[in-house]
Chains A and B, each alone.
Chain A
């Protein structure tokens, strides 16, 4: 792992850690933006430019804005007096540490069997577009349907109750 990738990884993990531990929800969302941007940069480092820019557009451009709207609409930016973490935080911490231990052990135990093709793949947007419109056209249409259904569903769920009873 080269030094820039290492720095980006540390930034990403630090952003994710801050997003899950800070008390103020707005600060958490800002830290989350750092984590998403770090993941996008890791995608760029893995020669997946299209996915990296899609990550920036979708996550930083849309999801974070949605989360900020939700935080402001629900007035949850103030920390509740009982604290920002659940009473059973220790159990959750133990479970996630256990999951990381198992995943890390699995990766380190199979490190010799992992594939390691070093040649950079020859991929451009033209090929991705051809694949999306050719071999993957059915999943693409299903995702379009899913996004339409999710948009309508989100609007109906969040719609004002009085407007629904009319």
Chain B
């Protein structure tokens, strides 16, 4: 197996673990953590394709990964702010109990 294929398999495994966590955990914080793991898997794919692709000196994949890390950080800040706001309102972070939009 080529090195690129093994990196892609590791990234696929990370993505599947993150997706499974985001779908099965009760705590909203851990759902966000699952989404972060999926974003990390995508970054790993971008960097692996950049490293083994034809034109690494163009830096395209690396720039994609850098911007993706910045966007993921913004997403984490807003997401955790939302979790804290919901906790203050409903006294829970259990996504199974968040079943109405009216307060």
Determine how close the nearest CB of chain B comes to the CB of A15; give it in whole angstroms: 10
Interface size class of A (residues with CB under 8 A): 35 or more
Determine how close the nearest CB of chain B comes to the CB of A120; give it in whole angstroms: 8
| Contact between chains at B78 and A157 (CB < 8 Å) | yes
Assess A13 versus B77: contact at CB under 8 Å? Given A19-B37, A111-B5, A127-B59: no
Assess A104 versus B29: contact at CB under 8 Å? Given A63-B36, A66-B77, A146-B74: no
Assess A117 versus B30: contact at CB under 8 Å? Given A155-B81, A157-B82: no
Q: Which chain B positions have C-beta within 8 A of A123?
A: 56-57, 59, 62
Chain A 2-15 interface 0/1 with B at a Cβ cutoff of 8 Å (1 = within): 00010001001100
From B77, which residue of chain A is reached at the shortest CB distance? A154
Chain B 23-43 interface 0/1 with A at a Cβ cutoff of 8 Å (1 = within): 111110110111011001001
A35-B65 Cα distance, complex, nearest whole Å: 17
| Contact between chains at B17 and A157 (CB < 8 Å) | no
| Contact between chains at B71 and A46 (CB < 8 Å) | no
Determine how close the nearest CB of chain B comes to the CB of A156; give it in whole angstroms: 8
In the complex, which residues 1-50 of chain A have their Cβ closer than 8 Å to any Cβ of chain B? Answer: 1, 5, 9, 12-13, 16-17, 19-21, 25, 28-29, 32, 35-36, 39, 42-43, 46-48, 50
Interface size counted on chain B using CB atoms at 8 A = 74
Instruction: Enumerate chain A interface residues (CB-CB to B < 8 A).
Output: 1, 5, 9, 12-13, 16-17, 19-21, 25, 28-29, 32, 35-36, 39, 42-43, 46-48, 50-51, 54-55, 58-59, 62-63, 66-67, 69-71, 73-74, 76, 80, 82-89, 91-93, 95-97, 99-100, 103-104, 107-108, 111, 114-118, 121-123, 127-128, 131-132, 136, 139, 143, 146-147, 149-151, 153-155, 157-158, 160-161
Shortest beta-carbon contacts, A-B, top 10: A92-B23, A20-B21, A121-B56, A96-B20, A100-B16, A150-B74, A154-B81, A103-B12, A92-B24, A158-B81
Instruction: Enumerate chain B interface residues (CB-CB to A < 8 A).
Output: 1-10, 12-21, 23-27, 29-30, 32-34, 36-37, 40, 43-44, 47-54, 56-57, 59, 62-63, 65-67, 69-78, 80-85, 87-89, 93-96
